[in-house]
Amino acid sequence: MLALWVLLVVIYGLISFLIAQGVTKADRDPQEEHPSDYNLVFEDVEFASRRGDIALSGWYLPGEDSSPHLIFAHGIGSVRSGDNAVELATRMVDLGYNVLLFDLRGHGSSEGDKVSGGFFERWDVLGALDYLVERGVDPSRMGLMGFSMGAATLIMAAAEEPLITAVVADSPFADASDLIARESARKTPFPEWMMPIFIPTTKLMARTIYGINIGSLVPEKSVAELGYPIFVIHGLADDRIPWEHGQRVAAAAEEGSSLWLLPGVDHMDAFLTHPDEYVERVNDYFESRLR
């Protein structure tokens, strides 16, 4: 009987470890588009995460010298050019904005072999801000534009950097713990119904082995620390991060924050399905905060 219990504990621990390992694996896909596809002037750039542990690669797209700068952050498993980001950046450059697109750690051309749901990636975003400051950009005229995990990451980064005063979050999660079962099932061979019994140990292993505190990935708490309104976008047909997460983030944000919910729109498909209105709404928000 004792041997059976020992075997069960070993199996439980092994599965918990495999789940923790699975959710930190990085998908390194090639770029989907390039600035040259849109005849954009661009500069290949490289800079360090604020922690100095990772070199990050990106594109700097100049608009007008006197206009604000926007930093884009992509979702997990994507790249700087993923999910129509270059097309959106082109539209923003046409409006005068200067745009920095870059690959988060473990993605695209950037260094790193682990992802962390925003725990370490927030330092990548702050490294992008530091890079622009080194270029002489006024930090009070920088805005953050993020998608999915990138949106959640921006909110958490902004909570640690008072120089940031404008955030647009497209399809953010409100609390990573609410999604870990779904994400674990997506990135491992184990079914979602099995996940809850392993989650506590998975969280412990993620923290002990990889230094990732999953319990701290709570943008709906971080957003309350910003002290300025943000703009949240979410599709009502999102089956990756349910739209209620975006609603929770917006509800916890400063008074005056906006929430745009789109019927029939799936995960991060708002720009794809409503490009003109998307750009208009994003521009209106950044205009109000940065100009």
Q: pLDDT tens, 7-19? A: 666 676 777 777 7
β-strand partners of 43: 60
pLDDT of residue 6 exceeding 70, the answer is no
Strand order, beta sheet including 167-170: 43-48, 55-61, 98-102, 69-73, 142-147, 167-170, 231-235, 258-262
% residues pLDDT > 70 (the chain): 95
144 and 163 both lie in a single domain:
yes
39 and 124 both lie in a single domain:
yes
133 and 255 both lie in a single domain:
yes
pLDDT of residue 22 exceeding 80, the answer is no
pLDDT of residue 2 exceeding 80, the answer is no
| CATH code at position 70 | 3.40.50.1820
> How far is residue 254's CA from residue 251's CA, in Å, rounded to a whole number?
8
**Domain assignment of residue 182, given as a range:** 1-28+177-216
- How many structural domains comprise the chain? 2
198 and 276 both lie in a single domain:
no
β-strand partners of 71: 100, 144
139 and 169 both lie in a single domain:
yes
**Greater pLDDT, 23 or 247:** 247
Domain end: 216, 241, 268, which one?
Answer: 216
Q: What is the pLDDT of residue 204?
A: 85
Q: Which of 38, 39, 40, 58 is nearest to 48 (CA)?
A: 58
> How far is residue 12's CA from residue 161's CA, in Å, rounded to a whole number?
40
**Greater pLDDT, 27 or 281:** 281
6 and 112 both lie in a single domain:
no
> How far is residue 56's CA from residue 74's CA, in Å, rounded to a whole number?
13
102 and 239 both lie in a single domain:
yes
124 and 195 both lie in a single domain:
no
Measured CA to CA in angstroms, residue 289 lies from 77, 144, 232 at distances of: 30, 11, 14
pLDDT of residue 255 exceeding 80, the answer is yes
188 and 54 both lie in a single domain:
no
β-strand partners of 98: 69
Q: What is the pLDDT of residue 123?
A: 97
124 and 188 both lie in a single domain:
no
The answer to whether the beta carbons of residues 152 and 173 sit under 8 Å apart is yes
Per-residue pLDDT tens for 202-219? 888 888 888 889 889 999
183 and 83 both lie in a single domain:
no
Cβ-Cβ contacts under 8 Å for 208 (sequence gap 6 or more): none
Q: What is the pLDDT of residue 205?
A: 82
Per-residue pLDDT tens for 150-198? 999 999 999 999 999 999 999 999 998 888 777 777 767 777 777 778 7
The model's confidence at residue 4, banded by pLDDT at 50, 70 and 90, is low
Per-residue pLDDT tens for 38-81? 999 999 999 999 999 899 999 999 999 889 999 999 999 999 99
CA angle 170, 222, 287 (to 5 degrees): 50
Q: What is the pLDDT of residue 101?
A: 98
142 and 14 both lie in a single domain:
no
Determine whether 143 is exposed, middle or buried from the number of CB atoms within 10 Å of its CB (0-12, 13-18, 19+).
Answer: buried
**Mind giving me the DSSP string for 30-71?**
PPS--GGGGT---EEEEEE-TTSS-EEEEEEE---TTS-EEE
